[in-house]
């Protein structure tokens, strides 16, 4: 009797398992938004509030796809594209991510996320979100403003990001800053 029960359970498991799942959708990053990221690594000079130069090394963006299973039997899935670039700043790793719907900034320390914030664009062109801003005596035009709304010990308060140069300005919670050197 025990063998029959085990056989029935094994048959049900085999019949119920998916051999090949079905992709039911694909969410990709709009091409016009990919131009905001450079695909090659680069070193960029910034000055801080004390007029001291700092050099940040950007990794260059890497695009990848991942699948998210959908449904109770997990046979169907949706494919998502994302791009990721990072740079090191003091003892933090700053990760910039783009997905089909968000531009995300994460601050990691020892590979643990310390903070994260994003700019939601809902699949539209990032060009629609460009703004002009004056901050710390500097004027920036056609900038994406990524603001940290975390209330518990934020590290970065704001990042100003341009289509042509990437990060133009970083404002830290303590009022210090880095500005990109042209």
Confidence at residue 147, expressed as pLDDT on a 0 to 100 scale: 92
The predicted model scores a pTM of 0.82
Confidence at residue 1, expressed as pLDDT on a 0 to 100 scale: 56
Assess whether pLDDT exceeds 80 at residue 18.
no
Instruction: Name the more confident of 39 and 99.
Output: 99
Report the C-alpha dihedral over residues 47, 51, 52, 53, rounded to 10 degrees. Answer: 30
Largest CA distance in the chain: 83
CA dist list (Å): 111 to 2, 134, 145 = 49, 33, 25
Instruction: Name the more confident of 134 and 123.
Output: 134
Cα of first residue to Cα of last residue in the chain, in angstroms, is 80
User: What confidence tens digit (pLDDT) does each residue in 94-125 have?
Assistant: 999 999 999 999 988 888 888 888 899 888 89
Average pLDDT over residues 41-51: 95
User: What confidence tens digit (pLDDT) does each residue in 149-167 have?
Assistant: 876 778 899 999 999 999 9
């Amino acid at each position: 009797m025990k063998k029959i029960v085990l056989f029935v359970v094994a048959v049900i498991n085999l019949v119920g398992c998916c051999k090949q799942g079905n992709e039911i959708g694909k969410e990709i990053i709009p091409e016009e938004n990919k131009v905001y990221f450079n695909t090659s690594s680069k070193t960029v000079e910034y000055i801080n509030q004390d007029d001291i130069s700092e050099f940040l090394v950007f990794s260059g963006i890497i695009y990848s796809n991942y699948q998210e299973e959908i449904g109770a039997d997990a046979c169907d899935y949706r494919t998502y594209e994302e791009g990721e670039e990072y740079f090191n700043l003091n003892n933090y790793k700053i990760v910039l991510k783009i997905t089909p719907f968000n531009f995300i900034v994460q601050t990691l320390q020892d590979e643990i996320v310390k903070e994260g914030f994003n700019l939601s664009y809902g699949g539209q062109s990032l060009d629609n979100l460009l703004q002009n801003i004056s901050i710390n005596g500097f004027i920036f035009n056609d900038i994406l403003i990524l603001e940290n709304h975390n209330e518990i010990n934020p590290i970065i308060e704001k990042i100003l990001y341009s289509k042509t140069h990437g990060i133009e300005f970083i404002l830290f919670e303590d009022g210090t800053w880095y500005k990109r050197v042209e």
